[in-house]
Amino acid sequence: MADERILIIDDSIAIASLLVNEILPLGGYSATAALSGEEGLEIARQVKPDLILCDLEMPDINGLDVLRELQRAGLDIPAIMMTAFGSEAIAAQALRIGVKDYIIKPFTTEEILASVERALAEKRLRKRLESATEGLERYQQALLIVHAISKAAGAGLEPDELLSRIILAAVHGGKAQGGFIGKLDSQTGKLEVLTAANLPTSEGKLIDIQSDKAMASAIDAAQVVERNSQLGQWCYIPLVRQQATIGLMSIVSKHETRPRSMEYLFSALAGFAAIAIENVQLRSELAIAMLQEKPES
């Protein structure tokens, strides 16, 4: 498809032009041509195409040696070999070094497109498998982080220390640049920074949420809101307890899009942060109530 790059390596200008300008566009593919083995090697190293269609016989270096050289360079690129010689011995050599198909010249448009589609279909499946595996690993890492914070909370860690660990976990686990957790003062409409990581923001700083539309929107709607800035992309996660927003966790990173594992991580950590802040508030209210009930001496 349009985002898949195909490299043609063939010393025949006519064949290279036919593939690049006529046959491959019929399948929705874009391609680049190299008219020698050495040129093909240089382009392959720079571009790292998704597929190579390589002529077997070329004046400077044959197709098998081109592919062997790419393998030695650590480039695992699927390839289709093209040749006017139908030698089974050569075909066997090609298959042993990982060639996906072997096409005899002269070929038809249908043969080329079918061979390209088969080769790329396998590559697409491998990419999907790799992506799924990476996604699973990210979820496992997120679960481990959440489990560690859960144990810390269950062990009776003081709320301020717990909040500090939460923001560090969010920044580290989300591969972010920094972040902070703040408590909302419903009367003044300001956010008091309780803890921060890798940011110049200091504890106790008051932030007017109305000065940041994205921040205000996250608090008012009790929904995650993102915005771009010179620092990177901010993610504002409201801290909600009893259907009321009591604070905000803010994370800034260079990620334009976040995998779902990060969304899960931030959501879970925000839940712990909300409980910690509520815990502080309840302790304060209890202390005030006890003072009021204390009999005068």
Asked if residue 151 is part of any domain, the answer here is: no
User: Considering the domain boundaries, does residue 143 fall inside one?
Assistant: no
- State the pLDDT at residue 114: 93
33 and 84 fall within a common domain: yes
Q: Clarify whether residues 160 and 289 are in a common domain.
A: yes
- Measured CA to CA, the distance from residue 147 to residue 153 in angstroms comes to 10
In a domain, 146, yes or no: no
Copy the structure tokens of residue 144: 């481990």
One domain, residues 174 and 114: no
Residues of the chain where predicted confidence (pLDDT) is lower than 70: 1-2, 85-89, 91, 255-260, 282-289, 292-297
pLDDT score of 31: 93
Contact (Cβ atoms closer than 8 angstroms) between residue 51 and residue 67: no
Domain annotation covers residue 147: no
The answer as to whether 239 is a domain residue is yes
Is position 149 within any domain?
A: no
| Residue 246 covered by a domain | yes
Please report the pLDDT score of residue 256 as a whole number: 63
Burial classification of residue 228, based on how many CB atoms lie within 10 Å of its CB (0-12 exposed, 13-18 middle, 19 or more buried): exposed
Structure tokens at 204: 């106790």
CATH of the domain at 71: 3.40.50.2300
CB 201, CB 182: distance < 8 Å: no
Based on the domain organization, do 55 and 117 belong to the same domain?
yes
Residue 135 in any domain: the answer is no
Which structural domain range is residue 114 located in? Answer: 5-128
Interval 17-44: pLDDT, tens? 999 999 999 988 989 999 999 999 999 9
Please tell me whether residues 289 and 211 are part of one structural domain: yes
Q: Are residues 94 and 172 in the same domain?
A: no
According to the model, what pLDDT value does residue 122 have? 83
Residue-level pLDDT at 242 = 84
Are residues 205 and 83 part of one domain? no
Residues facing 122 on adjacent strands: none
In the chain, the number of structural domains is 2
Residues 65 and 123 in one domain: yes
Instruction: Using a cut of 0.85, tell me whether the model's pTM lies above it.
Output: no
218 and 275 housed in the same domain? yes
| One domain for residues 289 and 199 | yes
CATH number for the domain spanning 205: value is 3.30.450.40
Tens of pLDDT, residue by residue over 260-269, are 678 888 989 9
User: Does residue 162 share a domain with residue 101?
Assistant: no
Q: Quick one: 77 and 205 in the same domain?
A: no
End-to-end CA gap in the chain? 85
